[in-house]
Amino acid sequence: MNNQEILDILKGFKYPNLDKNIIDLALLDKLESKDKVLNIYLKLTNVQVFELLSVEIKKSPKLQSAFKEIHVFNTISSPKKSINYGSTATPNNRAPYAKNIIAISSGKGGVGKSTVAANLAVSLAQEGFSVGILDADVYGPNIPRLFGVENESLRWNENDKIIPSFNYGVKIMSVGLTTPRADTPLVWRSSVAVSALIQFLEDVDWGELDYLVIDMPPGTGDVQLTMAQELHLNCAILVTTPQASSIDDVSRAIVMFQEVGVKVCGLIENMSYFIAPDTNKRYDIFGTNMGENLSLKYNIEFLGQIPLSIDIREHCDMGKPPVTLKNSAIKEYYKSIVAKIVNS
């Protein structure tokens, strides 16, 4: 295969979200082909775009049939963004476009934190607010599935800004939208994860937001500390189940936010109880009144209970936040919490 044939193939690769290919945009630096090995040198300032195009080019059936090895290089050294970290006492303001920033966190995983975050974000949008949600749970990014955008991938606008996904009135950004496959693990050290989140704050075209909801990872680690250092967080909302181990862990999260000076708006008890559909009898599977008692202990507001519900689980799995459905009872769980947040 000669160079012209390779160029013709490369013309089939367009820059994300632009109706122009990489050849017409003069993004090809040079080609080298010898002994069934093809080296393609691109010149791209956007690292994410380079990585995306690199994967697509290497998968080209025509190139794979002609070459045993395909390598794609970037001849532009990506400029390292200066990250001058703030402190919890004097945090940076990396999201000046957001009037209110709310962190949704938990002490442990598996308590339904992302489900709560997604439904609260949609509820805020239904109230007429401009809302974005940032999935900061980089090792378990569930927000794309909850919003039904898990098959979307990153796109860039003409200003070289990432375009967030959009559904149910909410702008969405997640590391889950950056991986080539849904099951690709992110084996990142915490410093890399933190850098990625800062990029999502600064390099995404969020527009003007009334509320930026951040779905935190569980626990009390680097991401929580970084968000407290890099953003003017209005408040944190903690999610727990009534189970003793969850209560133990969320207690640590409450104390962490209090110690770094972030206001805790309140506590939500998720999977609080189960109503049997055949008998309408209530079962307190994980415990009784544990969340409310914890709120009293730490003098924070108890925002409400959300039951363990088949409807909530099924619709979240389908990418349809239950708050968008006609079931007024399910809607009320989240809307009553949103009313307290807005009026706090």
pLDDT tens, position by position, 89-127: 889 999 999 999 999 999 999 999 999 999 999 999 999
Mean pLDDT computed over 56-84? 83
CA gap 29, 12 in Å, rounded: 17
The domains found in the chain, sorted by start residue, are: 3-74 (3.30.300.130), 98-343 (3.40.50.300)
Q: Indicate if the alpha-carbon torsion angle 88, 89, 93, 95 is positive or negative.
A: positive
CA gap 145, 164 in Å, rounded: 15
E strand or H helix that includes residue 53: helix 47-58
E strand or H helix that includes residue 41: strand 37-42
Mean pLDDT computed over 63-72? 94
pLDDT tens profile 194-210: 888 998 999 999 999 99
CA gap 141, 177 in Å, rounded: 9
Check: CB of residue 273 under 8 Å from CB of residue 284. yes
pLDDT exceeds 80 at position 79: no
CA gap 179, 62 in Å, rounded: 23
pLDDT of residue 81: 56
pLDDT exceeds 80 at position 78: no
Share of the chain above pLDDT 70, in %: 98
pLDDT tens profile 10-44: 999 988 877 788 998 889 999 999 989 999 999 98
pLDDT tens profile 120-168: 999 999 999 999 999 999 999 999 999 999 999 888 888 888 999 999 9
pLDDT of residue 77: 66
E strand or H helix that includes residue 125: helix 113-126
- Phi, psi for 244 (deg, rounded to 5): -60, -40
pLDDT of residue 82: 54
pLDDT of residue 309: 94
Beta 209-215 vs 98-106: how paired, if at all? Answer: parallel
pLDDT of residue 344: 77
Mean pLDDT computed over 226-247? 95
pLDDT of residue 231: 95
pLDDT exceeds 60 at position 280: yes
Count other Cβ atoms within 10 Å, centred on residue 78: 12
Band of residue 270 on the pLDDT scale cut at 50, 70, 90: very high
Which among 222, 212, 228 has a CA at the least distance from the CA of 264? 228
Per the DSSP assignment, residues forming a β-bridge with 302 are 267
Residue 294's Cβ-side half-sphere holds a number of Cα atoms within 13 Å equal to 30
Check: CB of residue 149 under 8 Å from CB of residue 195. no
pLDDT exceeds 60 at position 286: yes
Mean pLDDT computed over 294-305? 96
Interhelix angle 328-343/113-126, nearest 10 degrees: 80
In the predicted model, what is the mean pLDDT of the chain? 92
CA gap 196, 136 in Å, rounded: 9
Q: Indicate if the alpha-carbon torsion angle 61, 62, 66, 70 is positive or negative.
A: negative
CA gap 341, 60 in Å, rounded: 50
CA gap 323, 131 in Å, rounded: 15
pLDDT of residue 100: 97
CA gap 40, 71 in Å, rounded: 6
